Chains A and B, each alone.
Chain A
Amino acid sequence: MKKRLFGAVMSAAMVSSFMFGATAFAEEATSEAATEEVVEATVPADVVTGDASSEDAFVVWGWNDDIKKILDGPFAEAYPDLYERIVFVNTGGSDYYQSKLDPVLDDPSNELYPDMMGLEVDYVQKYVNNADWIAAVADLGITEEDMASMYQYNIDLGSDWDGNVRAMFWQATPGCIQVRADLAEKYLGTTDPAELAEMFSSYEKIIETATAVNEASEGKCKLFSGYDELKRMLTNSREVGFYDENDVITLDENIEQYMELAKQMYDADLTYNTAQWSADWTANMNGDGIETNAAIAYMGCPWFTYWCLQPTWQENTILVPTPEQCYWGGTGLAATANCSDTEMAATIMKFITTDVDGMVAINAMNSDFVNNTEALSKIVESGASADGNGYLYADAGQNFIEFFLPLADGIDASTVTAEDQQILSMLDTQVQAYVTGEKDLETAIADLKAAIHDTFDYLTVE
């Protein structure tokens, strides 16, 4: 009897796995054709776009296709001949970008040795401070005059410790809060930008607002998906860097404030406690707040709008300033020390980061807030990108570029260090341990410092 039972279980397991396996493989076979179409319709599937082995190949590295889109679009139009030579290496994801890039930078004979590459704010300082890797833009023939219309904070970010500019940015990235209009109306009772701005004008107000949302929705909808929506507002408006000129680890008081606020939100159940970029975080962007979890507001910035917002947010987004002026992200372009064609590097760099027409064209592509005040005033004049790539809620009467202009003025990013990306990740671990009651604030801070020192031996705990 039992033997038969086990036999049945076994054969059922066998048959079902065979069936599933077979269907999966059949699909694999039949959908081969479908795949091809999909590939063509979206982004190219290969790591490397272009022929790296050709004599005059000009290799550009990035961790997504942000730069590629600019090269494919406005740049290709302006310089079709140069565009032909570009080989783009997309490493897919910024987490492993550095570990892939570094060995190649140490090996100029590599076919894929970059002539130029994209560098994110969180680690751009690591690269610009290594002259074996990165060329100074002055050596490419780019002058201070070319940079006259740039935001100063971006120039600082791309400069090494001696003040030589080595990386240049095409976008300015003032931080903001992006509010979903339909949910705001329902649970905050308004879609008026000024009224909403008031609700987010200080961290205390944000807590109040989050509490109000909890009450109004009976917990079905939350203001934020996770408490870490506050993280960038506080870490990217620090006055003190993660270490001082003697390499002693220092923590701005914003860090402590962030930990306290996070704990407050966690204890009062004000968010879903998701981690930024996680699947649940994305899912909450699309929720309806009745049957599925939904968050009303997300920490945002200009690129966040076209890069991260889900379709639910189209014509449904209201922009609100953060309590403190801050920035979020940004990509620097740099030419390598052994760049095969510095003239071409200079042409690309100038077109993307200093040329007014080029930057107007970039804006036309994705409504990006470009790093050039002259281009910005032209864009505002022409009325381009007023609706933020189709995301802004029309009745709120906001103009995308105009909204960000005051927020971009006077951003200070002088505290950014080469190690920020990893330190910020360690901060997450400690904040989680603190808010869940695993340890007290003092221990969390001490543990954070110890972890920083453990990863970066040369930084010391005083």
Chain B
Amino acid sequence: MATKKRRKSVERGKYGYLFIAPFFITYLLFQLWPLINTFYYSTLSYYKRNGREIISFAGLENFADILGLTAGERPYVLIYLKNTLIMWGMNFIPQILVSLLMAAWLTNNKVKIRGTGAIKVIIYLPSIITAASVSVLFKAMFSQYGPITKTLRDIGIISENFDFMASVMGTRGLISFILFWMWFGNTSLMLISGVMGIDPGLFEAADIDGANGKKQFFYITLPLLKPILLYTLVTSAIGGLQMYDIPALFNVTETNLQGLPNDTSTTMAMYIMRLYNSNVGKAATVSVFLFAVTLAVSLVLFVSMGDKEAKKLKKAERRRRNEK
């Protein structure tokens, strides 16, 4: 029976190619080929002047330029990487802490919180809303003469002249806050399902041993959540590196997509958007740089998780899915 089945599968193997063909054709054409081309463009000096394209081979010059290694060049890409990381970090640290808290509390059977279902639904809500709209909404409320700014001034939380849009911390802080606001619910839900995937027997045994809630959290929940925490960290970091919608609509110049104030809320994706039409070579180089950083971040996941933990994550996920 078993051998028969295998033979049948082999005979039908050609269907496998047919079924996966649309995916691979599309991917090769619309992703891989453009990626290869992006690498190629990054070796060209390719810009427009008065609408005319000026193209010549540049080798690795573009990379030296964007990293500030050439005399007279500023490492803008590093500055924008720093901006991106700061805004991402200021959102991620509170996000993961709050999410852990929510995960611990909402799964706790001893101190039961009523309405967990409703809480989950509510805190997840912001993450499905169009980031562009959210950004504009926050901008309208926190602008120089916006209603929240006005109210904060009236009750004396900020000084009469404080302007979020002219303050580096104000703007970056608000962008980070928007990111936090949008994503903490999502992360909480991920961690909650992670906690629910932990064998309940472990907690029961800990109870018998007299370990209190705090101890259980630090010695059982946290270590077992490590794979999913790392997964969250890496997906969030990769998403964060591509950050575009929110800073691009929040506090920018009209014509050049500079993140105000003082270019401190400009991200790498905004830099690519600024250059994609006027300076193809440089824009491609920035993309390749972004690719390298993203790749490095992904590798961190695989290295630090190791094979064992990756398997654990898979197992945990499968169990979770089976429960559904």
A–B contact at 8 Å CB threshold (below): yes
Residues of A within 8 A of B (CB): 1-3, 5-7, 9-10, 13, 95, 99, 102, 105-106, 125-127, 129-130, 132-133, 269, 272-274, 277, 280, 283, 293, 418, 421-422, 425-426, 428-430, 432-433, 436, 438-439, 447, 450-451, 453-458, 460-461
Q: Report which of B50, B76, B115 forms a contact with A418, defined as CB distance below 8 A.
A: B50
Known contacts A455-B256, A455-B274, A460-B72; A429/B51 CB under 8 A: no
Residues in chain A near residue B92, CB distance under 8 A: none
Taking each of B51, B253, B261, which has the highest tally of chain A beta carbons within 10 Å of its own beta carbon?
B51
Residue positions of B touching A, CB distance < 8 A = 45, 47, 49-52, 54, 72-74, 76, 113-115, 118-119, 121-122, 143-145, 161, 163, 166-168, 253-256, 258, 260-263, 274-275, 277-279, 282
5 A-B pairs whose Cβ atoms sit less than 8 Å apart in the complex: A105-B51, A127-B51, A132-B51, A425-B255, A455-B274
CB distance from A186 to the nearest CB of B (A): 22
Please report the C-alpha to C-alpha distance between residue A133 and residue B49 in the assembled complex, in whole angstroms.
13
Query: In the bound complex, how far is the Cα of B49 from the Cα of A126, in angstroms?
Result: 8
Residues of B within 8 A of A450 (CB): 74
Q: Which residues from chain B contact A5 at a C-beta distance below 8 Å?
A: 115
B163 touches A451 (CB 8 A): no
Give the residue of B47, B256, B261, B278 whose beta carbon is less than 8 angstroms from that of A432: B261
CB within 8 A of B168: which of A105, A133, A428, A438? Answer: A438
Which chain A residue lies CB-closest to B54? A458
Selected contact of A1 from candidates B114, B145, B168, CB within 8 Å: B114
Contact A95 B114 (CB under 8 A): no
Report which residue of B119, B122, B145, B163 has the largest number of chain A beta carbons within 10 angstroms of its beta carbon: B145
Contacts of B73 in A (CB 8 A): 453
- The answer to whether A422 touches B255 (Cβ under 8 A) is yes
Say how far A245's CB is from chain B's closest CB, in angstroms.
Answer: 15
Taking CB atoms, residues of chain B closer than 8 Å to A129 are 50
Specify which of B76, B122, B262 lies most central, judged by the most chain A CB atoms within 10 Å of its CB: B262
Evaluate contact between A438 and B144: CB separation under 8 angstroms. no
Shortest beta-carbon contacts, A-B, top 4: A6-B115, A433-B262, A2-B114, A3-B114
CA A3 to CA B116, docked complex, whole Å: 9
CA A63 to CA B49, docked complex, whole Å: 22
B258 touches A429 (CB 8 A): yes
Instruction: Write the nearest CB–CB distance from B53 to chain A, whole angstroms.
Output: 9
B102 to chain A, nearest CB (A): 15
Residues A7 and B118 in contact, CB atoms below 8 Å apart: yes
CA distance A428 to B253 in the complex (A): 8
In the complex, what residues of A have CB within 8 A of residue B278's CB? 455
Q: Is the CB of A2 within 8 A of B115?
A: yes
A99 surroundings in chain B (CB, below 8 A): 277
Q: Which A residue sits closest to B145, measured CB to CB? A: A280
| Candidates B50, B167, B279; contact of A457 at CB < 8 Å | B279
Question: What residues of A have a CB within 8 angstroms of the CB of B119 in the complex?
Answer: 6
Given B163, B254, B262, B274, which contacts A438 in the complex, CB threshold below 8 Å? B262
Residue of B whose beta carbon sits closest to that of A102: B51
Contacts of B74 in A (CB 8 A): 450, 454
Q: Is the CB of B50 within 8 A of A429?
A: no
Complex Cα gap A456–B113 (Å) = 59
In whole angstroms, how far apart are the Cα atoms of A280 and B260 in the complex? 17
Known: A433-B262, A457-B282. A426 touches B256 (CB 8 A): yes
In the complex, which residues of chain B have a beta carbon less than 8 angstroms from the beta carbon of A425? 253-256, 258
Chain B residues, Cβ within 8 Å of A283: 145
Q: Is the CB of A10 within 8 A of B118?
A: yes
Report how far A323 CA is from B119 CA in the complex, Å: 63
Among the interface residues B49, B50, B72, which one has the most CB atoms of the partner chain A within 10 A?
A: B50
Knowing that A280-B144, A429-B261, A436-B167 are A-B contacts, what are 9 other residue pairs whose CB atoms are under 8 Å apart, sorted by A's residue number?
A: A9-B118, A130-B50, A274-B144, A421-B255, A425-B255, A425-B258, A429-B258, A436-B261, A456-B49
Q: Cβ of B274 and Cβ of A127 under 8 Å apart? A: no
Contacts of B51 in A (CB 8 A): 102, 105-106, 126-127, 130, 132-133
CA–CA, A450 and B263, complex, Å? 12
How far, in Å, is A306 (CB) from chain B's closest CB?
23
A457 to B278 Cα, complex, angstroms = 10
Query: Given the complex, which residues of A lie within 8 Å of B49, measured CB to CB?
Result: 418, 456, 458
Bound: A349/B143 CA distance, A: 44
Bound-complex Cα distance A3 to B282 (A): 56
Within the complex, the shortest CB–CB distance from B292 to chain A, in Å, comes to: 20
Chain B residues near A7: list those with CB within 8 A: 115, 118
Q: Quick check: B255 and A457 within 8 Å, CB to CB? A: no
Taken together as a complex, chains A and B put the C-alpha atoms of A3 and B112 apart, in Å, by: 11
Inter-chain CA distance A451–B262, complex, in Å, is: 11
Rounded to whole Å, the gap between the CB of A40 and the closest CB of chain B is 30
Q: Which of A430, A454, A461 has the most CB of B within 10 A?
A: A454
Partner of A95 from B161, B167, B254 at Cβ < 8 Å: B254
In-complex Cβ contact of B122 among A10, A269, A293, A439 (8 A): A10
